[in-house]
């Protein structure tokens, strides 16, 4: 069949670079011989150039980009609020301790401005430890015994909710104190994130204070902002300091988690 008959189709596909190599070669050879088709392709090329040039659009205004960023922020906040409701749904049913923890959660709320209060240097350093991707020295179920053998005779904090798993630990030091970093994985739906607890030995009164002090029973938790990462500190009667941090949580969400750990119950029994 003649290429001339299909020149409309061919010219278009040719100029849009949609012909396969062989078809293109065939057409290009034909254009060398056929003045009419050559003229047609040139005219089409001119039309296409006119259209494409006319259609060049302005870039998005900066104000629009700012508006989009703000809309995404709102969307994120809305999503976080929905997730928080999920947390509470977990905590509410269950054993007596969980119910007790839930009762505490109901009355303990972080003031919004608390997040702007900077953490002290020891807490800051403890939180920095969590973002360093160092290998764990022990993993999984043997973490508890390992901790007692290599660090101090303490139990790793446990969370009674499903989906919060201790995955490992390593020794470290924080501001000259011996310390152990425990890593937990928290799963909510399809999402997973890391929660770390840094246990710091030999903490004196006030060394982990600061931020917003929150009384839970007889114990005082401190809610800090460590360079944008919410952190909660607590010192037990033996001078063992605990720093909890989770990059993906709001201070309130982290507080809810910490309060629901067995740490609080243990601390109250330990008196």
Partner 1 sequence: MLAAKEKRAEFERQALVHTDALYGAAYRLTRNARDAEDLVQDSLLRAYRFWDSFEQDSNCKAWLLRIVTNTFINEYQRKKRSREVLDAATAEQDATDGVLVQASASDRQSPERVLLERSVSDDVQRALDNLPDDFRTAVVLCDVQGLSYKEIAEIMQTPVGTVMSRLFRGRKLLAAALREFALAEGYVREEPTKHTEGDQKTIDLEAYRANRKEGQR
Out of 4, 29, 72, 106, the residue judged to bind partner 1 by CB under 8 A = 72
Residue 131 contacts partner 1 per CB under 8 A: no
What is the DSSP secondary structure assignment for residue 240, as one 8-state letter? -
As a whole number of angstroms, the distance between CA 265 and CA 226 comes to 26
Out of 4, 25, 28, 68, the residue judged to bind partner 1 by CB under 8 A = 68
Burial-class residue 15 by CB neighbours within 10 Å (0-12, 13-18, 19+).
Answer: middle
The nearest distance, CB 13 to partner 1, in angstroms, is 5
Residue 218 contacts partner 1 per CB under 8 A: no
Residue 161 contacts partner 1 per CB under 8 A: no
Residue 51 contacts partner 1 per CB under 8 A: yes
Residue 64 contacts partner 1 per CB under 8 A: yes
Residue 75 contacts partner 1 per CB under 8 A: yes
User: Distance from CA of residue 267 to its chain's centroid?
Assistant: 30
Residue 149 contacts partner 1 per CB under 8 A: no
Residue 192 contacts partner 1 per CB under 8 A: yes
As a whole number of angstroms, the distance between CA 255 and CA 157 comes to 14
Out of 250, 257, 264, 267, the residue judged to bind partner 1 by CB under 8 A = 250
Neighbours of 94 (CB within 10 A): 15
As a whole number of angstroms, the distance between CA 233 and CA 182 comes to 14
Tokens of 232: 């909660």
Out of 122, 249, 259, 264, the residue judged to bind partner 1 by CB under 8 A = 249
């Amino acid at each position: 069949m003649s290429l001339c008959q299909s020149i409309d189709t061919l010219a278009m596909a040719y100029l849009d670079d949609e012909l396969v190599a062989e078809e293109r070669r065939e057409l290009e050879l034909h254009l060398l011989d056929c003045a009419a088709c050559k003229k047609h392709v040139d005219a089409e090329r001119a039309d296409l150039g006119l259209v494409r040039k006319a259609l060049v659009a302005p870039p998005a205004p900066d104000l629009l980009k700012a508006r989009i960023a703000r809309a995404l922020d709102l969307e994120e906040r809305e999503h976080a609020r929905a997730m928080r409701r999920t947390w509470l749904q977990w905590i509410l049913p269950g054993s007596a301790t969980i119910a007790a923890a839930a009762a505490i959660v109901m009355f303990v709320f972080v003031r919004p401005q608390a997040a702007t209060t900077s953490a002290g240097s020891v807490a800051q350093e403890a939180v920095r430890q969590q973002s360093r991707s160092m290998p764990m020295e022990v993993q999984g179920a043997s973490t508890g015994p390992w901790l007692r053998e290599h660090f101090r005779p303490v139990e790793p904090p446990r969370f009674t909710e499903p989906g919060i798993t201790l995955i490992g630990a390593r020794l470290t030091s924080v501001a000259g104190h011996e310390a152990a970093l425990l890593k937990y994985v928290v799963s909510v739906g399809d999402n997973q994130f890391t929660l770390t607890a840094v246990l710091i030995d030999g903490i004196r009164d006030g060394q982990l204070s600061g931020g917003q002090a929150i009384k839970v029973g007889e114990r005082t938790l401190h809610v800090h902002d460590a360079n944008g990462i919410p952190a909660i500190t607590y010192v037990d009667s033996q001078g063992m300091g605990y720093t909890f941090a989770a990059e993906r949580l709001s201070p309130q969400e982290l507080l809810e988690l910490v309060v629901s750990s067995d740490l609080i119950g243990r601390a109250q029994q330990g008196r």
